[in-house]
Amino acid sequence: MDGTYILYKFILASAILLISLLVAMYSTLLERKVAAFFQDRLGPNRAGIFGIFQPLADGLKLFFKEEFMPGDADKFLYILGPSLTMMIALLTSAVIPWGNSLVIGGAEYSLQVADVNVGVLYVFAILSIGVYGIMIGGWASNNKYALIGAVRAASQMISYELAMSMTIIAIVMMSGSLSLKDMVEQQHGMNWNVWYQPLGFLIFLVCAFAECNRSPFDLPECETELIGGYHTEYSSMKLGFYLFAEYINMFISSAMIATLFFGGYNFPFMDDLHLSHNVITIIGSLVFFVKIAFFVFFFMWVRWTLPRFRYDQLMRLGWKSLLPLAIVNMIITGLVIMIKHHL
C-alpha cells in the first residue's frame, strides 16, 4: 500500500501545483480581458485566438528583461523575497479539499493532499507568515518607496488577518472541527455556510481583498504614491514572481471562500442524480472550479470598478468596522449554538 500511496500523493501534489500555476497564468489574461471589457476595449488578441498565448508571451518577455539589482541591496535577501512570496502562496493549496474521493479498484483516493486535523490553523499559520516575502523584498531593495510599501503591506495584512480569523472561528464553532474536509462534508448539497454566516462571508471577502493586496486595497503597490511599492526595485522574473504570486493568492483565496462558505465541491441536488460516486466526485470538482472562477472574476470586477482607498481609511475600516463586526458575528454564533444546544 505504501508505495502506491506515496506515488499517488506525489502525483496529486504535482497536479495541484501545476493547476494552481496554470490558473494563475490564465488569470493574468483574464484580468486584462476583464479590464478591456470594463473599459470598452478589446484587450490582448494578437497571440493566438482570443490572445490565448498572451500569458506565454508575457512570461517570455519577463524572462528576457534585464536583471537589475540595486547596488546597496542585500543580495541574498533581495532574491529570497520573491522566492518566499511564491512559495508561501503555493503552500495553502495542500489542505484545500479539491474534490471528494475517487474509488479506483476498491481503494479510495482522496482528492486532498493532506487532511490534517488542524487544517484551519494551518491556513492561519500560512496567512500569518505571508508577510515575510513582501517585507524582506521591500527592505532588501534599500529604497524608501519599497520600504514604505513593505511597511504598508505588513500592517495591512496583520490588521485584516485578525478580522479574517474571527470569521473563520465562527465557522469552526458551527462545524465543530478544524479539518477543512469535515467542514466541506457538513455543507452537503445546498447546506452552505453562507446561508448561516452572511455577515461572516462579507467580512471574509473584504479581508481576502486586503490580504491579497488587491484593489481597492492595493496601497502597498499603489502607483500614484509609491511608484511600485515593495517591488519598485525589482525587474525581470523576480518582478514576475511578485506579480504572479498575487494571482496565485487570488486563486487560493477564491478557493478558500468557496470551501468555507460555498460548500466546496458540493452542489445542489447531488443526491438526486443517482450517478456513481466517481462521476459525482468529478462533477463536484468541476463545480468547485466554477465557484473559484466566479470569485476570481469577482476580484477583477471589483478592481476595475472601485477606486483605491486612502491608507487611513483602510486602517479605520479594518480596525473600527470589520474587527468589531467580526467579534459580534462570533458572539452571536456562539449564542445561537448555545441556545440550540439547550433546546
Partner 1 sequence: MIFSKYLFFILSFIAIYAALKVLISKKPMHSVLYLTLTFFAIGGHYILLNAQFLAVVHIIVYAGAIMVLFIYTVMLLNLNIQGEFPKSRLAKFASAIAGGILLFTLIAVFRSYDLKVLADPSLNQIGLVKNLGKILFQDYYLPFELSSILFLAAMVGAVMLGKKDIY
| Contacts with partner 1, residue ranges (CB under 8 A) | 74, 77, 116-118, 121-122, 124-125, 127-129, 131-132, 135-136, 139, 147, 150-151, 154, 158, 178
Q: How far is the CB of 160 from partner 1 (least distance, A)?
A: 14
Q: What is 43-73 written as a DSSP string?
A: ---SSSGGGTTHHHHHHHHHHHSPP---TTS
Q: Which long-range contacts (CB under 8 A, 24 or more apart) does 310-319 make?
A: 311/152, 311/219, 314/156, 314/210, 314/217, 314/219, 315/155, 315/156, 315/159, 317/206, 318/156, 318/159, 318/160, 318/162, 318/163, 318/210, 319/159
By the 8 A CB rule, do 138 and 82 touch? no
Q: How far is the CB of 219 from partner 1 (least distance, A)?
A: 17
- Residue placing its CB nearer to partner 1 in the complex, 84 or 287: 84
Q: How far is the CB of 306 from partner 1 (least distance, A)?
A: 28
Identify the CA nearest to 212 among candidates 148, 285, 133, 153.
153
Specify the pairing of strand 107-110 against strand 101-104: antiparallel
Q: How far is the CB of 119 from partner 1 (least distance, A)?
A: 10
3-state DSSP assignment of residue 14 = helix
- Residue placing its CB nearer to partner 1 in the complex, 127 or 212: 127
- Residue placing its CB nearer to partner 1 in the complex, 176 or 198: 176
- Residue placing its CB nearer to partner 1 in the complex, 44 or 130: 130
> 85: how many CB neighbours lie within 10 A of its CB?
28
Q: What is 279-304 written as a DSSP string?
A: HHHHHHHHHHHHHHHHHHHHHHHHHT
- Residue placing its CB nearer to partner 1 in the complex, 256 or 287: 256
Distances (CA, A) of 295 to 70, 180, 290: 37, 19, 9
3-state DSSP assignment of residue 225 = helix
C-alpha cell at 81: 523575497
- Residue placing its CB nearer to partner 1 in the complex, 117 or 276: 117
3-state DSSP assignment of residue 255 = helix
- Residue placing its CB nearer to partner 1 in the complex, 77 or 102: 77
Q: How far is the CB of 150 from partner 1 (least distance, A)?
A: 7
- Residue placing its CB nearer to partner 1 in the complex, 185 or 293: 185
Q: How far is the CB of 120 from partner 1 (least distance, A)?
A: 9
Q: How far is the CB of 178 from partner 1 (least distance, A)?
A: 6
Residue 109 has phi, psi (to 5 degrees) of: -115, 115
Q: How far is the CB of 73 from partner 1 (least distance, A)?
A: 12
